[in-house]
Chain A
Amino acid sequence: MSHPLFQAAEVLDMAIEIERMGLAFYRGCTAARASEQAAEVFEFAAEQEQQHIELFARMKRDLDQYTVPESYPGETLAYVRGLIGDTIFATVDEAACSAEEMPDVDSAIDKAVRLERQSIAFYSGLREVVRPSEHDAIDEVIAEEHRHIRRLVALQHELGGGD
């Protein structure tokens, strides 16, 4: 695609929504695990998502923003969820339910890493429809997700899991 469709600020809004889904997933994992060790892992991961929400919100303040008028409150968010739902989770509830279905900690971390990678693919696709002058912001979001994956994989190894 050669013409920009979205502003970086809008992609950051999408990123914040994805992080909220991630937060719900990790909190769901924490609730579904009895072991103290597992709880620590998922609380850490949830904390990372929370930090991303705050970071992306800060980044957004420095970017150009305009608002397309909504025909009803929450319309933009509905389209954002329609866009990310196919890639990640459609709703926070779906994220939480998915967490409950994880059979063990190792599987949950595998799933989390897959989701982070899907998020990166999603942001990489959107980068193509954001004007080049704002690519730095999208690159920073992608870099943050890569860092998160590395931390998750390191934790998985510490717990004796992973490939």
Chain B
Amino acid sequence: MIDHDAVPPAEDITRFYQPELARVIGKWQMTEMMVLLRLQPASGERLDHAPGQFLQISLPGYGEAPISFCSSPTQTDSFELCVQSVGNLSEALHDLRPGDFVGVRGPYGHGFPVEDMRGRDVLIVAGGIGIAPLRSLINYMADRRRDFGRVIIVYGARNPSERLFVEDVEAWDARDDFETWFTVDEPDETWTGMTGVVTVPLREVEIDPARTTAAVVGPPVMYRYVAMELLNKQMAEDDILFSLERRFKCGMGKCGHCQLNDLYVCQDGPVFRYTQLIGRTEAIEVWAPDEQKG
């Protein structure tokens, strides 16, 4: 639920929208469409984000957009964002160079409840660019490894050339204390791993449902198929975490773009327990509500 007391009084609203400057200190082209930006707040202050949270990034003359953190909060001197080229702003972000400045405000939203996940096995299910916010969580767990039980990573991409964070993926795969399953929907001649959507390897994964929390981020089509596999494994609905990041916009619950019945995804989410979404008729990517029409 929204904490309406947290909304600032009218005279403070402009301050709430005020971005801070952040400097680009690194840039990597990950795929044709995806760029990784490493940024540092000009103030030198830490953002102290949680895995799964997002911020608003802006460029004067181009606009502002919400993007999830893809770096771990344990990386304290800078933070990273994965930017997909989808419009004017993101194309301008792709053109940035080290030394350039952007506006940032945030972090916003409720991320993964890492305190509740402490001591439990964590099953990561990432589809496509959903790996970006989950990378923040995975690397957080890597840095706090003793705080968690088994870490199981299931990551599916459309094809080998669209796999993100390949170096991280290889590093996770090389660890003895991570269990990794990688697949692509459309293999090419270079691919020697599993083939199929993310639910194909997920079906093979054995878990102890009583001590497992699943963190799921991916394209809208993926969620119900993943939910079915997880429920087939006897997981409790409350232990399934979905991030609905595609829905957020202003980050403050003002624009209404992300409204999901009585929830604001940008404030109450983007990470939700499955139980929070059942009954919300607009959460069509997560369940099949009776009232939803055409």
Q: Which residues of A contact B (CB under 8 A)?
A: 1, 3-7, 10, 64-66, 68-72, 75-76, 78-79, 81-83, 85-86, 90, 129-131, 133
- Enumerate B188-235 residues with CB–CB distance to A below 8 Å: 196-197, 199-200, 203, 219-222, 224-225, 227-228, 231
A residues near B42, Cβ cutoff 8 Å: none
How far does the alpha carbon of A78 sit from the alpha carbon of B196 in the complex, in Å? Answer: 7
B residues near A82, Cβ cutoff 8 Å: 196-197, 199-200, 225
Given known A3-B287, A82-B200, A83-B199, contact A66–B292 (CB-CB < 8 A): yes
How far does the alpha carbon of A88 sit from the alpha carbon of B21 in the complex, in Å? Answer: 56
In the complex, residue of chain A having the shortest beta-carbon distance to the beta carbon of B128: A71
Docked-complex contact A75 and B221, CB < 8 angstroms = yes
A71-B221, A78-B196, A83-B225 given; 6 more Cβ-contact pairs under 8 Å = A64-B294, A68-B284, A70-B219, A79-B225, A85-B196, A129-B288
Given known A5-B227, A65-B294, A68-B220, contact A85–B200 (CB-CB < 8 A): yes
How far does the alpha carbon of A66 sit from the alpha carbon of B288 in the complex, in Å? Answer: 9
B15 sits at the interface (CB 8 A): no
| Count: A-B pairs, CB below 8 Å | 73
Q: Shortest beta-carbon distance, A118 to chain B, in Å? A: 16
How far does the alpha carbon of A69 sit from the alpha carbon of B231 in the complex, in Å? Answer: 23
How far does the alpha carbon of A131 sit from the alpha carbon of B288 in the complex, in Å? Answer: 8
Docked-complex contact A7 and B288, CB < 8 angstroms = yes
B residues near A69, Cβ cutoff 8 Å: 220-221
A–B Cβ pairs within 8 angstroms, 24 of them? A1-B231, A3-B287, A4-B288, A6-B288, A7-B288, A64-B292, A64-B294, A65-B294, A66-B292, A66-B294, A68-B221, A71-B128, A71-B220, A75-B219, A76-B221, A78-B197, A79-B225, A81-B197, A82-B197, A82-B200, A83-B225, A85-B200, A131-B288, A131-B290
A residues near B199, Cβ cutoff 8 Å: 79, 82-83
Given known A66-B294, A133-B290, contact A72–B227 (CB-CB < 8 A): no
In the complex, residue of chain A having the shortest beta-carbon distance to the beta carbon of B289: A4
B273 sits at the interface (CB 8 A): no
Q: Shortest beta-carbon distance, B217 to chain A, in Å? A: 12
Docked-complex contact B158 and A5, CB < 8 angstroms = no
Q: Shortest beta-carbon distance, B233 to chain A, in Å? A: 12
Interface of B is mostly: loop
B278 sits at the interface (CB 8 A): yes
B residues near A1, Cβ cutoff 8 Å: 231
Interface of A is mostly: loop
B residues near A75, Cβ cutoff 8 Å: 185, 219, 221
Docked-complex contact B219 and A71, CB < 8 angstroms = yes
Q: Which size class do B's interface residues fall under?
A: 20 to 34
Docked-complex contact A5 and B293, CB < 8 angstroms = no
B residues near A76, Cβ cutoff 8 Å: 221
How far does the alpha carbon of A65 sit from the alpha carbon of B287 in the complex, in Å? Answer: 13
Docked-complex contact B221 and A70, CB < 8 angstroms = yes
A residues near B227, Cβ cutoff 8 Å: 5
B285 sits at the interface (CB 8 A): yes
Docked-complex contact B294 and A79, CB < 8 angstroms = no
The proximity string for B residues 21-42 relative to A, scoring 1 for CB distances below 8 Å and 0 otherwise, is 0000000000000000000000
In the complex, residue of chain A having the shortest beta-carbon distance to the beta carbon of B231: A1
How far does the alpha carbon of A86 sit from the alpha carbon of B287 in the complex, in Å? Answer: 22
How far does the alpha carbon of A90 sit from the alpha carbon of B194 in the complex, in Å? Answer: 14
Q: Which of A5, A10, A79, A90 contacts B287 (CB 8 A)?
A: A5
A residues near B285, Cβ cutoff 8 Å: 68
Q: Shortest beta-carbon distance, B194 to chain A, in Å? A: 11
How far does the alpha carbon of A110 sit from the alpha carbon of B158 in the complex, in Å? Answer: 37
Q: Which of A6, A64, A85 contacts B224 (CB 8 A)?
A: A6
How far does the alpha carbon of A46 sit from the alpha carbon of B220 in the complex, in Å? Answer: 35
A residues near B225, Cβ cutoff 8 Å: 79, 82-83
